[in-house]
């Protein structure tokens, strides 16, 4: 027979194992709310290990449904998380792991619907259209700064919409990488469509800088008109954009 003394410690242990194995996601959310004050959730289903949150809104931005799978090695202090987002603004997926004081992201993929972004461009209130696809094979973040990053951002079927309707830009790209774990760089290019784009952007904890050239490839009055809303065109129709800001790089100009 099992001794009473054995039961005294065995039953709480079994209860703890059962609780951990089936820990409801709703309980976990209540515990985490103190660290996510800007987030709202309509409903939470499943367990902390495999769950789904519906109607997720963060800082007023709707993210729709969030699905996650958390490895049980988290019990030993090693967080491994598969995350999927499915919302009106974007769809995305990725794998995340915490190692010491760094967060590792792998196979990160997101599709953002530009027309759903709450942004306007230029003084006439131009609105973007198309899909922005983000692909980052590997990301390493330490102290909220990406010390390792390589990836691409592709704006496909890019267009800007004004009161007269959409103006096609083609496909625009930014190739992302980090340098010396301190600076993020982006090389800007296009696919040979209506808009010729070249240039680069840089960002660090000390500031940011953008140098770009935009030009309509053919005599397209509507595209030239849209570009003129973004700045003064040169005689050949080229728009040169130079912006910078930050503690070291100076105020935007």
Helix (H, G, I), strand (E, B) or coil at 200: strand
Q: Residue 252 has what pLDDT?
A: 37
Which pLDDT band holds residue 146 (cuts at 50, 70, 90)?
confident
For residue 93, give the nearest of 115, 58, 68 by alpha carbon: 68
pLDDT of residue 251: 38
Structure confidence at residue 9 (pLDDT):
46
Question: Which range among 44-58, 69-83, 106-120, 216-230 shows the weakest confidence by mean pLDDT?
Answer: 69-83
The CB density around residue 8, as the number of other CB atoms within 10 Å, is 9
Confidence of residue 193 (pLDDT cuts 50, 70, 90): very high
Q: What's the chain's average pLDDT? A: 82
Higher local confidence (pLDDT), 201 or 39 = 201
Average pLDDT, stretch 161-188? 92
Tell me the CA distances in angstroms from 41 to 44, 54, 59, 90, 142, one per residue in order: 7, 6, 12, 17, 28
Q: Strands of the chain (E only): list them.
A: 39-40, 43-46, 50-58, 61-70, 80-86, 90-99, 102-113, 127-142, 145-162, 165-179, 183-190, 195-204, 207-216, 239-245
Tokens 């619907």 belong to 113
Confidence of residue 13 (pLDDT cuts 50, 70, 90): very low
Of the ranges 116-120, 161-165, 201-205, 236-240, which one carries the lowest mean pLDDT score?
Answer: 116-120
* 65 pLDDT more than 50: yes
93: β partners: 84, 109
Distance of CA 146 to the CA centre of its chain: 13
* pLDDT 10s digits, 16-62: 444 445 566 676 666 565 556 677 888 888 877 888 888 888 777 88
Contact 139, 102 (CB under 8 A): no
Query: In Å, what is the CA distance from 68 to each residue of 15, 48, 50, 153, 175?
Result: 25, 9, 6, 24, 29
pLDDT at 180: 80
247 half-sphere exposure, CB direction, 13 A CA radius: 3
The pLDDT assigned to 239 comes to 94
């Amino acid at each position: 027979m099992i001794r009473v003394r054995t039961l005294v410690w065995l039953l709480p242990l079994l209860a703890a194992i059962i609780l951990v194995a089936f820990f409801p996601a709703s309980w976990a959310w209540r515990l985490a709310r103190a660290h996510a004050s800007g987030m709202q959730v309509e409903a939470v289903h499943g367990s902390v290990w495999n769950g789904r949150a519906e109607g997720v809104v963060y800082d007023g931005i709707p993210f729709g449904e969030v699905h996650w799978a958390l490895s049980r090695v988290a019990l030993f202090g090693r967080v491994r998380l598969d995350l999927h987002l499915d919302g009106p603004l974007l769809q995305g997926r990725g794998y995340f792991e915490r190692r010491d004081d760094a967060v590792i992201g792998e196979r990160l993929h997101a599709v953002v619907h530009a027309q759903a972004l709450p942004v306007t461009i230029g003084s006439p209130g131009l609105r973007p259209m198309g899909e922005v696809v983000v692909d980052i094979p590997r990301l390493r973040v330490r102290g909220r700064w990406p010390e390792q990053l390589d990836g691409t951002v592709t704006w496909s079927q890019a267009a800007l919409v004004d009161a007269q309707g959409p103006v096609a830009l083609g496909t625009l790209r930014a190739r992302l990488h980090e340098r010396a774990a301190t600076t993020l760089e982006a090389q800007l290019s296009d696919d040979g469509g209506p808009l010729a784009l070249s240039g680069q952007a840089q960002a660090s904890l000390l500031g940011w800088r953008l140098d770009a050239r935009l030009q309509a490839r053919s005599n397209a009055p509507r595209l030239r008109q849209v570009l003129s809303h973004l700045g003064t065109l040169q005689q050949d129709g080229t728009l040169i954009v130079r912006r910078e800001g930050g503690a070291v790089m100076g105020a935007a100009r």
